[in-house]
Amino acid sequence: MGQGKLEGQVAVVTGGASGIGKACALRFAAEGAEIVLADLRGERLEAAAEELRRTTNGRVLAMPVNVTEEEDVEAMAQRALTDCGRLDVLLAAAGISHAGYVSGSSAGERGDTVGATNGGLLDVPLANWNRVLAVNLTGVMLSNRAAARCMIAAGNGGRIVNIASSAARIPLVGAGDYSVSKAGVAMLTQVLAQELVEHGIRVNGIGPGFIGTPMTQGMQDDEEGRANMLAMTPMGRLGTVDEMAATALFLASDDSSYTTGQTLYPNGGMFVG
């Protein structure tokens, strides 16, 4: 047996086919965890699972899941128990920047910036609002409780890490649906931390600043968009997915054994306190 921080453990990662979720899955696997990689059905999920197997030699189960569908999410948690024998960690990263966002689609059709204007809350179509809240907030709630039920049944405690956003603390004009959904994730993290503490389950969150992933690709490719991101970031650069994975590993491992209900904001100094 190796010396990894998650040796012998099972981690479920939603949004695991891309960006921050994939980087967290890779890091967890490198630390000895078996991974249930959950994302929307498709080639990207299979490709990410294959990449994980190749680079870590670890066991990886690819699981097609839409986090807005309760049956999918319950099946995902159950699969960890039935196929892997346990569920120790949930990393909830599945998310969208706005209602029309399709991760990994080409820049021209994407318009996928975090903070992409949708005309403001007075104009945002209700269907768009509902879509962002369904994926970013309800999806996290459903995954959290499905995982927590399995963790409680197994009786070994567990750790849940939710990917919120610095937009939980910064009101993004023109992306109110996104900001509100992420503020909801931060509060969900606090409530669940209190509800689950008696079961030995710790619940924490991460609120990234601007990170180099497909979600910010549109802004990275646009001169003004890039300048805006850097102007909001005192460190003067985007964060990397590996920096997010390092924060996730801290919260998913015993390194943070006395921490629950917190959202950490690795955002290059975007705000303090």
- Contact residues for ligand NAD, defined by CB under 6 A: 14-15, 17-21, 39-40, 65-68, 93-96, 103, 114, 135, 139, 163, 165, 208, 210-211, 213-216
Q: Cβ of residue 186: shortest distance to ligand NAD, in angstroms? A: 12
Neighbour order of strands in the sheet with 263-264: 60-64, 34-39, 10-14, 89-92, 158-163, 201-206, 263-264
Nearest of 229, 241, 239, 240 to residue 267 by alpha carbon: 239
* Cα 58 to the center of its chain, rounded Å: 21
Q: Cβ of residue 1: shortest distance to ligand NAD, in angstroms? A: 31
Q: Cβ of residue 59: shortest distance to ligand NAD, in angstroms? A: 21
Q: Cβ of residue 30: shortest distance to ligand NAD, in angstroms? A: 18
101 is catalytic: no
Q: Which is catalytic among the residues 101, 178, 258, 265?
A: 178
Q: Indicate the residue among 32 and 216 with the shorter CB distance to ligand NAD.
A: 216
Q: Find out whether 13 and 73 touch, Cβ atoms under 8 Å.
A: no
The span from the CA of 65 to the CA of 75, in Å, is 9
Given the DSSP bridges, would you call strands 158-163 and 10-14 parallel, antiparallel or unpaired?
unpaired
Given the DSSP bridges, would you call strands 34-39 and 10-14 parallel, antiparallel or unpaired?
parallel
Q: Find out whether 188 and 141 touch, Cβ atoms under 8 Å.
A: yes
Q: Cβ of residue 177: shortest distance to ligand NAD, in angstroms? A: 12
CA atoms lying within 13 Å on the CB side of residue 179: 15
Q: Indicate the residue among 159 and 169 with the shorter CB distance to ligand NAD.
A: 169
Backbone region of residue 269 per phi and psi (left: phi > 0; alpha: psi in -120 to 50; beta: other values) = left
Nearest of 103, 42, 46, 94 to residue 69 by alpha carbon: 94
Active site residues: 178
